[in-house]
Amino acid sequence: MKALFKLELRQAFISRNSLIVFAIFIGLAFVFGRYVDFLSPSDLLNSLFLIYLFIGMIVASSLFSGIISNEIETQTIRYVVPYQSRGHILIVKYVTVLIYFFILIGSSILTVLALRRDASIPVQSLLFIIGAYIYSANLIVLISVLCKTEKKSIISAILVSIMLPTFSIMNMLKPSIIFKGLNKLTPYAYIDKSNGFLILIGLAVFMGVITIFVFNRKEV
Amino acid sequence: MIELENVSKNFKDKQVIKQVSLEIQNGKITTIVGENGAGKSTIIGLICGYYFLTSGKITGKQVSVMPDADNMPINMTGHNFLSFMCDLKGASMQQALELSAELGIEQALNKKIKTYSFGMKKKLSFIQAYVGESYDAYIFDEPTSGVDVPSAYTMMALIRKLKSSNQAVLLTSHNMDELERVGDYFYILKAGSIARQGTLKEVTELGLANRRYMIDVSVDMKEQLKHFMESAGIKIVSENESYIEIEIMNHMDISEIMKPLLNADITINGFWEERSHLANVAF
């Protein structure tokens, strides 16, 4: 498991795309920290987290939605499956995505705090963004397990990343039972909700169970 | 050791493996022989956990396998790939490097796999399957196809070494000579079923009532030899300029013929049992 984890981390962080994503996130944090003077550090981070939530899901879709589907499509997974349980493979992939997200968000927060020389962090917003990224990581891995090719999983994940805020916006503009129901499945419904973190974890666990169920029955 | 009991596999409505039972025993090289599409790779896939059984049972699932070389992670260097596989399997990287030198790819290890020829990929895949211990079986799926002849011999010698250390080995190949040389037990697979099984002698002799021998004789002695055989009641099956082929009943001892033949002052250059080859019975 350690060997697979080392490999996944190396592949996640040492790539041109991943460096570009880091540059965008840190760049945004730098611009917000340096030039958006009218917001307090806490409000600044609140706003930044919302942007990160939307961008983060699209970024994760393009970087990680092939994390399983690509290996099944190219059959490189056949070099791993005889030596590592499918459950362990999933855990490694999932934790890799999470670590990537957390380092990304952590370094962005540090950039803002360093520029503002202020250590006040909005705890509820921070918990929300952590919950939202745990939700996103599960969603991305689930899509990767469900799709047969990397191309399909990337397209599906990007579409879902765009559809989730769309459901939320539609629910605000044209409230209906359908949009209300769909909105409840997105992280956007739980912004500023005190129990948002727990609900997102609940949704993530639900997706995780489906992912394990599907992957354990998937022929590679 | 790995044991398959009445294993069947369906892909959608098509049954590709039908009630297959086989054993991969320790200290033996077991081979599966069959045409493309006979089901060899599916059986390997079932043992390795790529596919799930439709019915039946597999006992012992800890295998070290050489999958298709075209499925390697091509953006890794050969060295990084071997290092990863050794970490994953808890195997010695030193052993992997020694094998790389033995198979002549040590100079290429710092290059990305996508720059490798098919034969080099095969060697790399072979090495990762070979390293490591404590497996119920080692599985080599067509290890030498596309590999240069000296390296193919080295690979076969290494596989024999596994056998001599009491490991169970499953080998498939389209090179029948190679399989005949190293195989201990053969399963002939036809359309997803085991058509024949046994040692080389058993699978190639099956169905033949009599044995045939070729006798190499100088041209001037040939008529004398034919006369000898006819008077001894031995059937001559075929002949050419310097050989005659005889057929004897299975219960007869060849020495009963050869001893009087040598005493009859007929110069024999050589003789051997003519038998059916694996390719004749497998395809």
Beginning with the edge strand found earlier in the chain, give each strand of the sheet holding B55-59 in spatial order: B14-24, B2-11, B55-59
For testing the chain B interface, which of A78, A81, A218 should be mutated: the one with the most B CBs within 10 Å? A78
Beginning with the edge strand found earlier in the chain, give each strand of the sheet holding B235-239 in spatial order: B235-239, B243-249, B210-217, B268-274
Question: Considering the domain boundaries, does residue B279 fall inside one?
Answer: no
List pLDDT tens digits, range B225-236: 889 988 888 889
Pair (B159, B229) in one structural domain:
no
List of chain B residues whose C-beta atoms are within 8 Å of the C-beta of residue A79? 67, 71-73, 85, 128
Pair (B185, B56) in one structural domain:
yes
Q: Closest Cα of chain A to B124: distance in Å?
A: 12
- Low pLDDT (below 70) residues in chain A: 119
Task: Write the DSSP string, chain A.
Answer: -HHHHHHHHHHHHSSHHHHHHHHHHHHHHHHHHHH-TTS-HHHHHHHHHHHHHHHHHHHHHHHHTTTTHHHHHH-GGGGTTTTS-HHHHHHHHHHHHHHHHHHHHHHHHHHHHHHHT-----HHHHHHHHHHHHHHHHHHHHHHHH-SSHHHHHHHHHHHHHHHHHHHHHHHHS--HHHHHHHHTSGGGGTT-TTHHHHHHHHHHHHHHHHHHHHTT---
Pair (B243, B188) in one structural domain:
no
- Low pLDDT (below 70) residues in chain B: 206-209
List pLDDT tens digits, range B29-59: 999 999 888 999 999 999 999 999 999 999 9
List of chain B residues whose C-beta atoms are within 8 Å of the C-beta of residue A220? 50
Q: What total of structural domains would you count in chain B?
A: 2
Question: Considering the domain boundaries, does residue B283 fall inside one?
Answer: no
Pair (B242, B129) in one structural domain:
no
Question: Considering the domain boundaries, does residue B233 fall inside one?
Answer: yes
Pair (B52, B153) in one structural domain:
yes
Pair (B149, B255) in one structural domain:
no
With left for phi above 0 and alpha for psi between -120 and 50, is residue B112 left, alpha or beta?
beta
Q: What token pair was written down for A186?
A: 């997105």
- ipTM value: 0.84
Pair (B212, B180) in one structural domain:
no
Q: Closest Cα of chain A to B45: distance in Å?
A: 9
Pair (B25, B160) in one structural domain:
yes
Question: Considering the domain boundaries, does residue B282 fall inside one?
Answer: no
Pair (B215, B196) in one structural domain:
no
With left for phi above 0 and alpha for psi between -120 and 50, is residue B146 left, alpha or beta?
left
**pLDDT, position B209:** 62
Which of B150, B177, B204 is a domain's end point? B204
Cβ–Cβ under 8 Å, residues B212 and B238: no
Other beta carbons within 10 angstroms of residue B137's beta carbon come to 22
Which of B204, B220, B243 is a domain's end point? B204
**pLDDT, position A155:** 94
Q: Can you tell me the distance from the alpha carbon of B228 to that of B89, in angstroms, rounded to the nearest whole number? A: 64
Pair (B165, B196) in one structural domain:
yes
Distances (CA, A) of B58 to A77, A88, B150, B170: 21, 22, 36, 14
Residue numbers of A between 49 and 108 with CB closer than 8 Å to B: 74-76, 78-84
Q: Which residue, among A92, A134, A114, A103, has the nearest Cα to A22 in the 3D structure?
A: A103
CATH number for the domain including B224?
3.30.70.980
**pLDDT, position B73:** 92
**pLDDT, position B107:** 94
Q: Where are the domains of chain A?
A: 2-215
**pLDDT, position A203:** 96
Segments forming the whole domain that contains residue B267: 207-274
Question: Considering the domain boundaries, does residue B281 fall inside one?
Answer: no
For testing the chain B interface, which of A73, A83, A86 should be mutated: the one with the most B CBs within 10 Å? A83
Question: Considering the domain boundaries, does residue B280 fall inside one?
Answer: no
CATH number for the domain including B150?
3.40.50.300
CB contact under 8 A, A78 and B84: no
Q: Can you tell me the distance from the alpha carbon of A203 to that of B212, in angstroms, rounded to the nearest whole number? A: 74
Pair (B48, B188) in one structural domain:
yes
Question: Considering the domain boundaries, does residue B196 fall inside one?
Answer: yes
Other beta carbons within 10 angstroms of residue B15's beta carbon come to 16
Cβ–Cβ under 8 Å, residues A134 and A200: yes
Pair (B53, B73) in one structural domain:
yes
Inter-chain CB pairs, A–B, below 8 Å: 46
List of chain A residues whose C-beta atoms are within 8 Å of the C-beta of residue B73? 74, 76, 79
